Amino acid sequence: MPDTNEDRLIAAARRLVAHFADVLDADLSIRLWNGERLPLGRNVKSELGFVISTPAAVTRLVRRPKFDTLVELLASGEIDIEGGTLIDLAHKRGEMRTRGLFKRVDKMLALKALWPFFLRTPSASQSQAYQGKISTSVEQGRDDKALIHFHYDLSNEFYALFLDPEMVYTCAYFPHWDATLEEAQQAKLDMICRKLRLQKDEKFLDIGCGWGGLVCHAAQHFGVRAHGVTLAEEQFAFAQEKIRRLGLQDRVTVELKDYRHIDAWGTFDKIASIGMFEAVGIDNHDTYFKQMHRLLRPRGLYLHHSIARPGKHDMKKFRKQRAEYKALTTYIFPGGELDTVGMSANGLERHGFEVHDVEAWREHYQRTTKLWTDRLYANREKAATMIGWPKTRLWLLYLAGCSLSFERSAVGIFQTLASKRAKGASGLPPTRADLYS
């Protein structure tokens, strides 16, 4: 039988994978578009590996070897991970012979193997990226509602596939590492309320209240009068129904409103911002902190809970986005920007706050996002019926990537407690022993 172009592509893929199997000796495999499974090592036992469902995927990669090309291919399923998640794949890296990999690869062999793919016409797939304009500041026309809608308004049913029953979509707090996600989220809500020293009938504001978990918890267990704001319509509807279901209408209110448009100046005794600050944008930090200061009474407490990146030597380097970070803000969280814990503390102090405590929760968020990844992976078929396979695959990559970033200290998360500065005593106890007893 004469050799066909398809046969040549299969033969080229076999040669390339066989070479990388010698170089890497990984306990992984690659399944080609013809169903053939090729080992990436000498003694492959794991079911974990990659799927290349079409030769066009290789063509697109060799024609445009960019990170976003890989993301689009993973979203479309033209390249996929089978037998596990990105976390499982990353943990295999320690078993591979990756040191000096580039030097050990036979460049001529690789070039010859990839050349038939390069000569093909690349295919196109529908982009899953945010298509709107992303301005860095409100003055330039930043539309926070559109940005929030892209991330949060997928459907409440989708988020329920991996969140706890209270629908808390922020870092959990594990009293011990074997605690369930449900236990850890309850512990987190309780810790926030205790750090804020919430008292009966105090007026409490939750900026970016999500599905209402914190405002309801604070009202039920600490007796406050709680108010929350969100820009996500699906969250707003869920929170409203939850408030009615729990009979908290006289204690809890929620508004579909931008934080900048809250005009109850000096009204609130305590304010929490839990996992919302990342959506504000660095150019809008001054506006944000000024508004928090306006809304609080003198010596009112503010809890600032946000993800942060390690600092750089200068802001230009800090704001330069690596490929992975750019993918996050393109496909998952448009407009999102992380600052440093120092920038947050500095911003608070410059705008009239006194910082009292800073606590790092990095490993708690690593554990949280790992559990979210596992849950979504287990429910991936259901997720695909709700939001489609491309977005499901992207979300699995996103949650797994977050877990790995926290695991490797590439990002951290901090809870910073501050008060609206005034003369005299802060009103806080002499120690924090009661928080951890």
Handedness of CA 159, 161, 162, 167 (dihedral sign): positive
Write down the catalytic residue from 193, 209, 216, 402. Answer: 402
**Of 311, 306, 325, which Cα lies nearest the Cα of 413?**
306
How far CA 358 is from CA of 174, 187, 344, 407, 419, in Å, comes to: 17, 18, 11, 20, 13
Q: Are 305 and 192 in contact (CB under 8 A)?
A: yes
CA 139 to chain centre: 26
Tokens at residue 315, please?
Answer: 């802001």
Angstrom distance (rounded) from CA 431 to CA 149: 42
Could you tell me which of 217, 294, 226, 219 has the C-alpha nearest to residue 259?
Answer: 294
Task: Give catalytic status of residue 402 as yes or no.
Answer: yes
The span from the CA of 380 to the CA of 1, in Å, is: 42
Give me 264's structure tokens: 């109850």
Which residues have a catalytic role annotated? 402
